Structures are given as structure tokens and as C-alpha cells.
Amino acid sequence: MKIVYILVLLIIISSFSYSFFFKKKSVNTSNLSKTFYDYSAKTISGDTIDMVEYKGKKVLIVNVASKCGYTYQYEELQKLHSEYSDKLVVLGFPSNDFLFQEPGSNESIKKFCSTNYGITFPMFEKIVVKKNENQHPIYSWLSHFDLNNLHDKAPSWNFCKYLINEKGDLVKYFSSKVNPLDDEIINLIK
């Protein structure tokens, strides 16, 4: 029992220390666009892609990690991307925000995805997805109601999913627990 109390105490102290030393500063959304198609991001290879390139298709944005319990979802994301490529594009955004489960470089992430899952959908450079001053602008748009007009949900873990319709409107957020091939996602794609 003593060990349990010590562990709980250590967790509390480390949580306090983390929040004290790494205080999250809020994101200033006043200078951000309210239109998804105004954003861009760097691919995992370093090229810049404007989101307007995906206009006319549904877009499923997913924050991914290679050392997560949900990493197996890469396989279903690839299958989803392949089966519905006429209607949908999957965009993968690696992030190391949750328990350091994406520690690799962009090059090692790219190799991991290619070797283990045959990923062909667009992958982007590693970014910050949590709400703070370093949050990538696309994730600021995804997680601020005043920008997306739907909700304020930032990813709670790796493999959270956001579905954007053909007009660039955010239509749904899915937690990590929702598999990419879940009927709820498939029905919204069809």
C-alpha cells in the first residue's frame, strides 16, 4: 500500500511540476482564417501543400504516432484512403504531444509508415496539436469554435480524427477509440 501512495504522490507532483514549468499559453485566433482552404502545411518531405488542393473532396485529418496503442489504425486509414480515394483524402499529422509516442524525425516517421503500413496518403511534418502557443494553425482551426463553427475539441490523444466536407466545413470529430473503418465514418464519407 505504501508503494501505491508513493506512486500517486509522484504522479501528482510530476503533474504539478509539468503544468507549472510548461504552462500552456492560449492560442491567439484573431489572426487566423475561418476558412480551412486558407491554410497550408509542410509535408513530411518538406514541400508546402495548400489545403485548397483538397477542395471538392472530404478530408479526414488524423494526428498520428508510431509508438501508440492505436498505431494499428494506420492500416485502416490506408484502406480508407485507398477505397474512397475518389471522395476522400486522409491527411496524417505526426505529433509527439501525448506521452512522447512519436519521438522520431520526419525521415524516420516516413520510413516507418512506408515499411510497416505501405502508407500512400499525404503525411505531414511533425507538429504540435495540443492547444497552446505552438499549436499548428490547422489544429487551431480544428479546435476553436470561433474558427470552425462546430466545436472546441483539441485532440485528447493520438489518432483523433476530424472530418471536413467538400466545401471545407468541419462536420465531425472522432476520438481515438473510433476506428477509421467504423460505420459512423464510412456513412459520412458515402
Q: What domains appear along the chain, each with residue ranges and CATH number?
A: 26-189 (3.40.30.10)
**pLDDT value at residue 75:** 98
**pLDDT value at residue 172:** 97
Distances, alpha carbon 154 to alpha carbons 83, 92, 125, 168, in Å? 28, 15, 18, 18
Closest CA to 61 of 190, 184, 155, 187: 155
What are the residue ranges in the chain where pLDDT is below 70?
Answer: 1-31
CB-based contact 44:123 (threshold 8 Å): yes
Out of 27, 64, 68, 123, the active site residue is 68
142: which residues sit within 8 A by CB, 6+ positions away? 61, 148, 154, 162, 170
What DSSP character marks residue 126? -
Q: How many CB atoms lie within 10 A of CB 13?
A: 10
**pLDDT value at residue 33:** 75
Percentage of the residues of the chain whose pLDDT score is greater than 70 = 84
**pLDDT value at residue 32:** 74
Alpha carbon distance 40, 23 (integer Å): 27
68 noted as active-site residue: yes
Supply the pTM of this predicted model.
0.84
Residue recorded with cell 501505491: 4
Q: What is the pLDDT of residues 50-63, one digit of tens each?
A: 999 999 999 999 99
CB-based contact 149:139 (threshold 8 Å): no
**pLDDT value at residue 185:** 97
CB-based contact 176:156 (threshold 8 Å): yes
